[in-house]
Amino acid sequence: MNNNIVYALYDDDDILLTSVKKMKEKNLNVKEVYTPFPVHGLDKVLELKETRMAITAFIYGCIGLTFGSVLIYYIMISGEYKSWPMNIGGKPNFTFFKNLPSFVPVLFELTVMFAGHLMSLTYFYRCKLFPGSQETSPDPRTTDDKFLVEIEHENFKEVEKFLKTTGAIEIKKKDDK
C-alpha cells in the first residue's frame, strides 16, 4: 500500500477549483477529488477523459431499433403470424414498409427502452454502483458541504505548506485517520 497520501479539505467549490489548478501546475499527483455536487469545470482541470456514456446510449439505441424491427418483422410479416392473417383498417400485412406507420410507435419505444436502460446499467457498472457497494470517500462530510482532494506526496511538510496557501481548511495524512 502506498501510504504517501494526503487529504486536503476545502469548503468552497471556487477555491477548490483554483487550488486543483495550482496543484496541477505544481505537478502534484491529484489522485481523486470527492465533492458533494458536480463542480462545473472540475473534469477539465483534472484532465479527465471525456466520458463515452452518450456513445453507448447511441449504440444501445441502434440495437433496440434492430431488435424491434426483427421482432415485428418476424411476428407480423414473416413468421408464424402468417397462419393468422389479419386485415386491420384495410391494411393487410403484405410488407413491412407498407405497414411501417403503425410500427413506428413500438420501434421508437423499444429504441428508447434499450438506450435508457442499458446506458444506465453501463453507468452503474462503470462506477461500481450497486446495492451493497461500500462508500470509498475518506470523509463523510464530502456528501454534505466539504470538498476533499486526495494527493500523493513525496514530502509531507512541503505539501502541507503549499496546501495551506491554497485555502485548505484541513490537511491530514492518510494514516493518521
Partner 1 sequence: MFQLNKKLHLTSISMIAIGLLSLVIGFMSDAHSTWTNLLFNNYFFLGISLFAVVFVAIQYVAEAGWSTVFKRVPEAMMAFLPYAGIIMLFIVIAAVMHWNHIYHWLEPGIMDPNEPNYDKIIAGKEPYLNAPFFLIRSIVYVIIWIYCARKLRQLSIKGDLEGDIGERSFFKGLRVSGWFLVFFAVTSCTAAWDWIMSIDTHWFSTLFGWYIFSEWATIGFTTILLIALFLQKTGYLPDLNDSHIHDLGKFIFAFSIVWTYMWFSQFMLIWYANIPEEVTYFMQRIEQSNYSFLFWFSMVINFVVPLIMLMSRDAKRNKTILVIVSTVILIGHWINSYLLFAPGTLFEHGHLGLLEVGVFLGFIGLFIQIVSRTLSKTSVEIKSHPYLDESKHLHT
Partner 2 sequence: MHKESRIRDPLIDGNKTFHDITVEVAYPVEGKANKYWWTLFGLSVILMLWGFGCIAYTIGTGIGVWGLNKTINWAWDITNFVWWIGIGHAGTLISAVLLLFRQKWRMAINRSAEAMTIFGVIQAGLFPLIHMGRPWLAYWVFPIPNQYGSLWVNFNSPLLWDVFAISTYLTVSTVFWYIGLIPDFAMIRDRVNEKINPLKKKLYSLLSFGWSGRAKHWQRFEEVSLVLAGLATPLVFSVHSIVSMDFATSVIPGWHTTIFPPYFVLGALFSGFAMVETLLIIVRKVVNMEAYITIKHIEYMNVIILFTGSMVGIAYITELFMAWYSGVEFEQYAFLNRATGPYWWAYASMMTCNVVIPQLYWIYKIRTNIIATFVLSIFVNIGMWFERFVIIVTSLHRDFLPSSWTMFSPTFVDIGIFLGTIGFFFVLFLMYARTFPVVAQAEMKTILKSSGSEFKKIDNEQ
Residues in contact with partner 1 by CB under 8 A are 54, 58, 89-91, 101-102, 104
- Min. distance of Cβ 123 from partner 2 in angstroms? 5
* C-alpha to C-alpha distance for 18 and 10, rounded to whole angstroms: 11
The C-alpha cell that represents 154 in the structure block = 513525496
In three-state secondary structure terms, 148 is: strand
Q: Compare residues 61 and 159 and give the one whose CB is closer to partner 1.
A: 61
Contact between 69 and partner 2 per CB under 8 A: no
Q: Which residues contact 164 (CB under 8 A, 6 or more apart)?
A: 171
Sign of the C-alpha dihedral computed for residues 120, 124, 125 and 126 taken in this order? positive
Alpha helix ranges (H) inside 100-148: 100-126
Residue 66 CB neighbours (<10 A): 14
Interface map 121-150 toward partner 2 (x if CB under 8 A): --xx-xxxxxxxxxxxx--xxxxxx-----
In three-state secondary structure terms, 48 is: coil
Q: Which does 130 bind (CB under 5 to 8 A by kind): partner 2, partner 1, none?
A: partner 2
Contact between 46 and partner 2 per CB under 8 A: yes
- Min. distance of Cβ 107 from partner 1 in angstroms? 12
Q: Which DSSP helix (H) or strand (E) runs through 26?
A: none
Residues contributing to the site for partner 2 (CB under 8 A) = 11, 13-14, 32-43, 46, 48, 51, 53-54, 57, 71-72, 75-76, 79-81, 83-84, 86, 88-89, 91, 99, 102-103, 105-106, 108-110, 112-113, 115-117, 119-120, 123-124, 126-137, 140-145
